[in-house]
């Protein structure tokens, strides 16, 4: 039977030497299945594994048919941002904590990857966000986010004030600790802890979730993922812009954050038996008895 993915890239958890054993095991297994194996160059440096060719993300994007991430959700987020423009699909082997995006348990790694290489998988595309920070009429930052983009208060600990518009229409003047703009994938991350809705990945929506709003009637809302969202910084001492949990830029009054659906979607491969709601039940401990 011909293999479904001829060249497979392996990406390990950031700066982790613990990934060396599973990396060697999986790389050797894939080689016996007839796959060419590449390893992310930062993973090579961190793990010390040099049995396979090292490759940059650009080289992986140009040459790999599949990327396997051995890590947690943070590793998957980084890989998705880097590889979405190339259309390379990803699958995750969980070496983190919750693992909302890493479908495969370490103990069943071989069996699941073997099934995928044999063509037994489902392919899913997920929305990403494109963010542009405008200052004095000029862009000072362009970035992609897989989970969310957050305008958050700084160390001063005071409320910030934001003017939010959607498709050019004024929505509200928000006084809060900040605002989370989340994709369906990100709806189970920071947005969930701020009482945002869980959005099934196939739903074409973006969630706007206020963080501790001063006015309790400022509730989370979901808008079409074709919407253009604008956040103007009205008053924000020490506020910062974050994407996928990374602090990026300090914000000043008058800044505009422009958000829209990214032109390319991230692509994820799921092993046989994957069920989104079963994953939620497991990770969020739904249906557990209290007695």
What pLDDT digit, counting tens, does each position of 178-210 carry?
Answer: 999 999 999 999 999 999 999 999 999 999 999
Percent of the chain with pLDDT strictly greater than 70: 98
Half-sphere exposure at residue 69, Cβ-oriented, CA atoms within 13 angstroms: 30
Average pLDDT rounded to a whole number, residues 115-140: 97
Higher pLDDT, 222 or 154: 222
Question: Which of 55-59, 65-69, 100-104 shows the lowest per-residue confidence on average (mean pLDDT)?
Answer: 100-104
How is the beta sheet containing 229-235 ordered, strand by strand? 138-145, 129-135, 256-261, 229-235, 160-166, 169-176
- Rounded mean pLDDT of the chain? 93
Is pLDDT at 34 greater than 80 in this prediction?
yes
Are 146 and 186 in contact, with CB atoms under 8 Å apart?
A: yes
What pLDDT digit, counting tens, does each position of 254-263 carry?
Answer: 999 999 999 9
What pLDDT digit, counting tens, does each position of 80-90 carry?
Answer: 999 999 999 99
Domains observed in the chain? 7-126+265-284 (3.40.50.10330), 129-261 (2.60.200.30)
Instruction: Supply the pTM of this predicted model.
Output: 0.93
65 is catalytic: no
User: What was the pLDDT predicted at 291?
Assistant: 54
Out of 18, 40, 41, 73, pick the active-site residue.
Answer: 73
Is pLDDT at 221 greater than 80 in this prediction?
yes
For residue 138, CA distances in Å to 55, 70, 74, 162 come to 35, 39, 30, 19
Is pLDDT at 98 greater than 80 in this prediction?
no
Q: Tokens 């703009």 map to which residue?
A: 181
User: What was the pLDDT predicted at 289?
Assistant: 61
User: What was the pLDDT predicted at 2?
Assistant: 79
User: What was the pLDDT predicted at 18?
Assistant: 81
Helix ranges restricted to H, 86-224: 109-117, 190-193
Is pLDDT at 118 greater than 90 in this prediction?
yes
Is pLDDT at 212 greater than 60 in this prediction?
yes
Q: Please tell me the distance from the alpha carbon of residue 81 to that of residue 218, in angstroms, as a whole number.
A: 31
Is pLDDT at 96 greater than 90 in this prediction?
no
Closest CA to 10 of 30, 18, 2: 30
Higher pLDDT, 16 or 52: 52
């Amino acid at each position: 039977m011909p293999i479904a993915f001829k060249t497979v890239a392996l990406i390990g958890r950031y700066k982790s030497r613990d990934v060396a054993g599973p990396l060697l095991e999986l790389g050797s297994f894939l080689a016996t299945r007839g796959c060419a194996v590449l390893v992310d160059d930062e993973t090579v440096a961190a793990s010390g594994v040099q049995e396979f060719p090292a490759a940059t993300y650009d080289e992986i994007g140009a040459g790999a048919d599949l990327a396997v991430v051995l890590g947690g959700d943070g590793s998957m987020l980084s890989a998705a941002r880097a590889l979405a423009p190339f259309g390379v699909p990803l699958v995750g082997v969980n070496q983190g904590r919750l693992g909302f995006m890493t479908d495969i348990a370490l103990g069943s790694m071989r069996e699941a990857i073997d099934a995928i290489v044999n063509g037994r998988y489902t392919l899913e595309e997920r929305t990403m966000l494109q963010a542009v920070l405008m200052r004095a009429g000029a862009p000072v930052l362009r970035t992609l986010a897989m989970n969310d983009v957050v305008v958050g208060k700084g160390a001063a600990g005071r409320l910030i004030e934001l003017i939010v518009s959607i498709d050019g229409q004024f929505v509200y003047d928000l006084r809060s600790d900040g605002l989370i703009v989340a994709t369906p994938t990100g709806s189970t991350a920071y947005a969930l802890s701020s009482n945002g809705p869980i959005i099934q990945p196939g739903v074409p929506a973006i969630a706007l979730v206020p963080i501790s709003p001063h006015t309790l009637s400022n509730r989370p809302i979901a808008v079409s993922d074709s919407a253009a969202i604008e956040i103007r910084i009205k008053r924000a001492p020490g506020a910062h812009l974050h994407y996928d949990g990374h602090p990026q830029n300090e914000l000043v009054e008058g800044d505009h954050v422009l958000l829209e659906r990214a032109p390319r979607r991230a692509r994820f491969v799921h092993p046989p038996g994957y069920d989104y709601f079963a994953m939620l039940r497991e990770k969020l401990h739904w249906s557990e008895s209290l007695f």
